[in-house]
Chains A and B, each alone.
Chain A
Amino acid sequence: MSAAPLLSLQNLSTHYVSQHGSRVVRAVDDVTLDLHAGESLGIVGESGSGKTTLALAILRLLPPAARIVSGRMLFEGEDLLAKPDGDMRRVRGKRIAMVLQDPMASLNPLFSIGDQVGEPIRVHEGAGRASAWQRAIGLLKSVRIASPETRVRQYPHEMSGGMRQRIVGAIGISCGPRLLIADEPTTSLDLTIQAQYLELLRDLQRQRGLALIFITHNLGIVAKMCDRLAVMYAGRVVEQGPVAQLFNAPAHPYTRALLGSLPRMSDNRERLTAIEGQPPDLSSLPPGCAFAPRCPMAAPRCATQAPPAFVLGEDHSARCWLAAPVAAA
C-alpha cells in the first residue's frame, strides 16, 4: 500500500444550504479517505448519513443546493475540485463510473440496449455508431448476457430486472474506468439475482483491476465484497479500516452496535442488541459527538467535544474518545 492512492479525499465537507441560508445541513463533514487501485471500499451508513452525497461529491454531480465547502479530492494525483467542468465531464463515465440503485430508472426506455451501452464509448472516444455497437456486444458478453447479438437490438422493457442491472453495469465499465462507484447496487434485486450480480462485479474487478466503492446500508454486502470499510454516521466517517478488523474488533460504539444488531442465521430466536433512539436530525446536530445521545458508553465530554479521528493501527481509525491514546484522554 505504499503506492499513491487512486483516490484520496482530504477533509472533504459538503453542506446543503437552504434557499435563504437559514438552514445548513452538514451532509458530509470532514471526511478523509484513501482508496488504492484494485481495492474495494464499502461505505456503510443509514439513510441521511451522507453516504450518497459523498458519492455524488466525488463525481461533482451534487444538486445545486449542495456545496463542497472545504477539502481536497485527488484522483490519480489530479485535484478534481480544481478541474473546469469540461475536464470533469471527461473524467465522469470514462475514468470514474457510477451504477445506481434503480436499473429501470437508469436506462432510457426509448433507446436500444446497444445505443445505451455504446453511448459512453461514442462520447468519450468518438467512436462511430457501428463500432460502438460492436464494442457493446463485447461488453454485454462480459456481463454474461446470453446471445448479446440479439440483445443489443432490444429495449429495456424486454429485459428482466437482473439483466437490466447487468446492462447498467456494462455501461459503467464501457470506457474502462479505474473506479466504479455502486450506490445500493442490489437493493431492488432478489437474493439469487443479487448473488449473481455481486459475483459478476467481483470478477470484473479482478479482471480489470477496478477499484470499487460500495455505498450501502447492508453490512452483509460489505462482509462479502469489500477489503475496507468506512462507517458513516451523521455526515462523518466514524470508523474506517480493514473489513476483518472492523468486524472482529470494532472500536467505535456505533460500529459495534450496528454489527450486534444484525440477526444471524445461527442464533435462532436470541435477543438482538438494538440501538436505542432515532437517527439524528442533520440540521440540528449536538455540538459533540453526533452518536452520543444514543451511545451506551457516552461520557460527559462526548456531549460537548467532537472527537477527532484517532489512529488505532495501520489504516484503522475511529472518531471516538474511547479510542483516544491514554495521554490524550
Chain B
Amino acid sequence: MSTITPTIAAPAPVSLTWRRLKDFPLIPTLILLLIAFVAIFADVLAPYDPQIGSLARRFRPPFWQEGGSMEYLLGTDHVGRDVLSRLMYGARVSMIVGLAAVLVAGALGTFLGIVAGFLGGWVDQVIMRLTDTWLALPALTFAIFLAAIVGPSELNIIIILGGVYWTRYARVIRGEVLSLKEREFVNLAVVAGCSRAKIMWRHILPNVINSAIVLATLMLGVVIVTEAALSFLGVGVPPPKPAWGLMLADGKKGLMVGYWWLTVLPGVCIMLMVLSANLLGDWLRVKLDPQLRQL
C-alpha cells in the first residue's frame, strides 16, 4: 500500500513528484499569494494614503493613457485619490472580510453539521429545518436586510456573511457525519467509554475537516463577491475605507464619460481573486477527496 517501493528505480522519484504537482493550479495560487502579499504590506507598498485626495488632480487616467503620468500609475478617482493605493488597501479589506467570514461560516456550519448528524433525533430535525429555511432565503437579499438592520461596519459584514453562508457547511458536513457515525470506530469509542462530546471532537471532526477546508476555498469566492455587492450597494464596508465593491460603486457614475479605470480595475481585481480561489478549491477537492486521491 503506502510502502510500495518502485521496482524500476531510476525515473520513479522524479515522475512521482511531478505527477503530484502536475495539476497544481500554479497561476491561481500565485495570484492569491500576490493579493495576500499586497494586503499585508499595503502600508509599505502603497505610494499614497488611500483616503486622502486632492480635488486638484481628479480623474487622472492611468499612465499609459494621454493625460496620465508615472506619478499616479493607475490614475485617480473623483476626489483625486490614488487608485493603485486604494486597490492595495482594498485587497486588505477583501482578504480580511473574506477569510474571517469563511471562518465564521465554517466554524458555525461545521459545528451544527456535526451536532445534527451525530446526535440525530430532534436536534437534527431542528438544525436541518433551520438550515432549509435559511437556504430558502435569497442569500444576497438576506444579507442586505441584515446589514440594513445592524448598520455597516467591517465586523458586522463578517458576522452577517458568516451568518448567511453557514448553511452549506451544515448540509455537507451533516451528510458526512451520518456515514461516519456508522463506522465501527465510533462504536468502539462508545465501548471505550468516550462521551459523545469527546467522540465528536476526537473522532468525527478530524474526519470532516478535509471537506470543510475544500468548502472554505470554494466559499471564499462567493463571500468576496457578496462583500463587494454589499459595499457596492452602500450597506457594506463604510466609506471612505477603500473596498473594491465600494470603489466600483463610486466609479460607476464616471463610466459613461470615459473614466473606465475607476470601475474596470476593481472589477478585474474581484474577478481575479474569485476565479483563483475557485480554481484552487476545485483542485483541493480532487486532491482531498479520498475517492479520487489514488494515484
| B11 and A24 contacting across the interface, CB-CB below 8 Å | no
A21 to B12, CA, bound (A): 9
Interface size on B, residues (CB 8 A): 12
Q: Looking at the complex, which one of A21, A22, A284 makes contact with B16 (CB distance below 8 Å)?
A: A22
| B5 and A283 contacting across the interface, CB-CB below 8 Å | yes
> Nearest Cβ distance between residue A317 and chain B, in whole angstroms?
27
| B15 and A20 contacting across the interface, CB-CB below 8 Å | yes
| A22 and B5 contacting across the interface, CB-CB below 8 Å | no
Interface residue B3 (Cβ < 8 Å from any Cβ of A) = yes
**Residue interface mask B93-104, A partner, CB < 8 A = 1:** 000000000000
Note all chain B residues with C-beta closer than 8 A to A281: 3-5
A329 to B12, CA, bound (A): 38
| A283 and B6 contacting across the interface, CB-CB below 8 Å | yes
| A23 and B19 contacting across the interface, CB-CB below 8 Å | no
- Residue in chain B with minimal CB distance to A282: B4
- The contact size tier of chain A is 10 to 19
Interface residue A131 (Cβ < 8 Å from any Cβ of B) = no
| B3 and A23 contacting across the interface, CB-CB below 8 Å | no
**Residue interface mask A272-307, B partner, CB < 8 A = 1:** 000000000101100000000000000000000000
- Residue in chain B with minimal CB distance to A17: B8
Interface residue B179 (Cβ < 8 Å from any Cβ of A) = no
| B11 and A20 contacting across the interface, CB-CB below 8 Å | yes
A20 to B3, CA, bound (A): 19
Interface residue A261 (Cβ < 8 Å from any Cβ of B) = no
| B11 and A284 contacting across the interface, CB-CB below 8 Å | no
A19 to B19, CA, bound (A): 10
Note all chain A residues with C-beta closer than 8 A to B8: 21-24
> Nearest Cβ distance between residue B17 and chain A, in whole angstroms?
11
Interface residue B291 (Cβ < 8 Å from any Cβ of A) = no
| A23 and B7 contacting across the interface, CB-CB below 8 Å | yes
Interface residue B44 (Cβ < 8 Å from any Cβ of A) = no
| B19 and A24 contacting across the interface, CB-CB below 8 Å | no
> Nearest Cβ distance between residue B160 and chain A, in whole angstroms?
46
- Residue in chain A with minimal CB distance to B13: A22
Interface residue B136 (Cβ < 8 Å from any Cβ of A) = no
A3 to B95, CA, bound (A): 80
Interface residue B295 (Cβ < 8 Å from any Cβ of A) = yes
A24 to B4, CA, bound (A): 11
A21 to B19, CA, bound (A): 13
Interface residue A18 (Cβ < 8 Å from any Cβ of B) = yes
Q: Looking at the complex, which one of A19, A20, A21, A283 makes contact with B4 (CB distance below 8 Å)?
A: A283
Note all chain A residues with C-beta closer than 8 A to B19: 19-20
Chain B residues at the A interface, C-beta cutoff of 8 Å: 3-8, 11-12, 15-16, 19, 295
Since A22-B6, A281-B4 are in contact, a sample of 5 more A-B pairs with Cβ atoms closer than 8 Å, ordered by chain A residue number, is: A18-B295, A20-B11, A20-B19, A23-B8, A283-B6
